[in-house]
Amino acid sequence: MLADFCFSDLLLYVPIEGALRDGGTQSKAVTDDGSVGGDSEFVVAGHVRPSTSQTLYRHDLIGEHIEESERPLIARSMKLGEIIEGETNVSSIRELVRVLCIPVRHEGKTIAVLSRESIPNVGRAPGELERTYIDIFNRFARMIASGEFPFASDDSDAKESPRVGDGVVVLDKASCVQYASPNAVSALHRMGVHANLDGMRLGGLGLDDESIRSAFNVGLPVTEEVERGDVILLVRAIPMLDSMGVSGAVVLFRDVTEVRQRDRLLLSKDATIREIHHRVKNNLQTISSLLQLQARRLDSLQAQEAIAESVRRIRSIALVHETLSREAGDAVAFAAILRPLVQMVAEAVTSSDRHIAFEVKGDGGKLPAEVATPMAVVLTELLQNTADHAFVQGPAPDGGRQVLVELDRTPEDFEVRVIDNGVGVPEGFSIATAKGLGLSIVRALVTSDLRGTFEFETRPDGAPGSVFVVRIPQEPLH
């Protein structure tokens, strides 16, 4: 904002304490009373270019070390704690540069110098806008030198905060308009304010001026959105202070109508998508209930088991849609799906004489819906397969029947490991040739839909049991 008001580059020079000079002598750049002693050295800690004018420097100067001999006015302003104006030669651009040095004060001490740097204007009279903006900058410069700016607290959002080019209104101590830039007048015209602004209060013109009154009352910047008809303005009121208190204010306007309409449209679409997920979940639950009713009418045990497996697969997909119906966006935290999914399988395979302890470790982060849905089916099949084949009837292994699901997310892939302490797999077992329906479904979903890998490993600790590993590369996860 300040760079735009002064049509110049702004550089922040911070003194380096204890800088070593040639010859090995040490000079403390900042003394206890905030002044500079000896030959000083500064580092450029900030460099801002104006959007209202051309920049003076082609490259950022941030991080460059500057000797006192290169910027004597900076060192003088730092030492005296006063605003100093003058001209200096800058070797990097080989031109005479007009410099306004402003001491930056904090808690009564000068801690840095803000320098306004520009090419001297020769033979050109500034216009009203330029004179007004320079006056605004000079008032803020005096606030910086007295330690009143920047403000201790600020409500601004750098991404959305209005810029000087969006529209400026200058208010006097009585909050009446002293000056309005052409862009500010245009913004107010879009809101239906066509009266002459000079000497008027914005509230008297029908504009909501709550932010302006708040800024005058508390002496701090206030940002609010003002909506009138189909137009939405972001209004930021920044008070200007002097020894008597608030002496006026700068009001920045930004027309955010299109942005807010887009945001509202996105929110509406997001709500619609979540409602669709909710309805899909309800439809899947209805299908699941119909299949269960059909299973009760069947006499074939094999047919009942086949329908029960189908119901579990449908319920696992329904879990994904249920989670998506509660969260904004098209990605879902996979752990939020996995835990109820594990509980569903545990309830189906656990009985009074056969207890299996399931545990989930890790957090796979968020997955897109198109990845989370097949992964939910994959985990359902793996857990069901483990419960059916890893633990035979008879005494439980030492420590009980245990199934561990580990989630891991790396920059390269998303990995799920299902580990059990059961009897292991038959000799000669191969995932590629496995004929079981569950493993066939897992293999097809992982390799075809998710472009991942499905592998079997023995337990690294040599204990009995098996480890099934699913790895999904990073590409489908975006």
For the chain, how big is the Rg over CA atoms in Å?
35
* CA–CA gap between residue 223 and residue 457 (Å, rounded): 59
* CA–CA gap between residue 231 and residue 257 (Å, rounded): 5
What H or E segment, with its residue span, contains residue 440? helix 437-444
**Two tokens, residue 105:** 């004060």
Nearest of 312, 291, 281, 286 to residue 379 by alpha carbon: 312
Q: Please report the pLDDT score of residue 159 as a whole number.
A: 65
Q: How far is CA 348 from the centre of its chain?
A: 42
Alpha helices in 62-205 (DSSP H): 72-80, 128-145, 182-190
Given a contact cutoff of 8 angstroms between Cβ atoms, the answer to whether 229 and 202 are in contact is no
pLDDT along the chain (478 residues), means of 10: 95 76 39 52 95 89 91 93 91 84 93 92 79 95 94 70 91 95 91 89 88 92 88 92 93 87 76 81 89 90 88 85 74 84 84 83 85 88 86 73 89 90 84 86 90 87 86 78
Q: How far is CA 164 from CA 137, 170, 201, 251, 252, in A?
A: 12, 12, 20, 9, 7
Given a contact cutoff of 8 angstroms between Cβ atoms, the answer to whether 340 and 347 are in contact is no
Q: Please report the pLDDT score of residue 477 as a whole number.
A: 67
* CA–CA gap between residue 263 and residue 125 (Å, rounded): 44
* CA–CA gap between residue 337 and residue 353 (Å, rounded): 28
Q: Please report the pLDDT score of residue 136 as a whole number.
A: 96
Q: Please report the pLDDT score of residue 36 as a whole number.
A: 45
Q: How far is CA 350 from CA 308, 390, 405, in A?
A: 15, 14, 17
Buried b (16+ CB within 10 A) or exposed e, 349-362: beeeeeebebebeb
Give Cβ neighbours of residue 210 (< 8 Å, ≥ 6 apart): 224
Q: Please report the pLDDT score of residue 49 as a whole number.
A: 94
Q: Please report the pLDDT score of residue 38 as a whole number.
A: 52
pTM: 0.60
Given a contact cutoff of 8 angstroms between Cβ atoms, the answer to whether 37 and 74 are in contact is no
Q: Please report the pLDDT score of residue 122 as a whole number.
A: 63
